[in-house]
Amino acid sequence: MSGLAVAMNRMVLSAQLLERGAVRYTPAGLPAIDCKLAHASTVTEDGSPRQVSLEIKALAIGALSRPLGLMALGSSAMFAGFLATTRNGRGMLFHITELTPDAAEPDKAIASVPSIEPAPSSVSTSTPSSSATI
């Protein structure tokens, strides 16, 4: 990466929420939610239209876990964040840092989900949760 003035790792994706795991807590006590997003669109590549579709594993930590937890499965939103490797280094994980629900789908945007509370003080941080592996 020498010669680059600024390193950039930012991704913005319009997508649907396909799957959402239960709220878990990081060793620092922050709420976290693992999910899977789906995207489909037509883009232009070298002057020709191309159909693109993908599914990507994603993660929201901290304050963003609440709005993600309230989204109904199948609802659309604009997600922004950065890419990193998974803990085991065998895959890619989209870390969500911004979330804007799709205003065109107000009936699907928010599900009835209980609020996300801070981690209980009795949470053990010595053993990782099995849902932490993505």
All structural domains of the chain with their residue ranges: 11-117
Homologous superfamily (CATH) for 11-117: Nucleic acid-binding proteins (2.40.50.140)
Residues 93-116 have pLDDT tens digits of 999 999 998 865 555 544 433 344
Do residues 105 and 75 touch, judged by C-beta distance below 8 A?
yes
Residues 27-73 have pLDDT tens digits of 999 999 999 999 999 999 999 999 999 999 999 999 999 999 999 99
Report d(CA 41, CA 15) in Å as an integer: 10
Token pair 């990081």 is at which residue?
26
Q: Minimal CA–CA distance to 110: which of 80, 79, 81, 77? A: 77
